[in-house]
Amino acid sequence: MLVTNSLKYSCPNGKSGNILVNMTLVEDNEYRLAISNDGISLPQNIYMPSLKSLGLKLALRLSEQLDGAFNIDVLK
């Protein structure tokens, strides 16, 4: 769902772009999944409790159920 969101919102109207999916082992039983793109970014002041995107809400809830963390870093 995160890759789908990235495709849908960062590259609208058939525009091209790149999406990078990276998973790294941080320590035993702890992984970091990072998804980035070079298209349109999320707002700099995104507030997690007020997310309107179903995909982002699902990712947040799933990470909570797995005792994980979900963070959004907006880089320019």
> What is residue 42's DSSP assignment?
P
The residue segments making up the domain with residue 33 are 2-65
Contacts of 2 (CB under 8 A, 6+ apart): 35, 55, 56, 59
**Helical H segments across the chain, by residue range:** 2-10, 54-65
The answer to whether residue 58 sits within a structural domain is yes
Q: Which of helix, strand or coil describes residue 29?
A: coil
Question: How do residues 3-59 score in pLDDT, each as one tens digit?
Answer: 887 878 788 888 888 999 999 999 998 999 998 888 887 777 776 667 777 888 888
Does 72 map to a domain? Answer: no
| Count of the separate structural domains present in the chain | 1
**Three-state DSSP class for residue 39:** coil
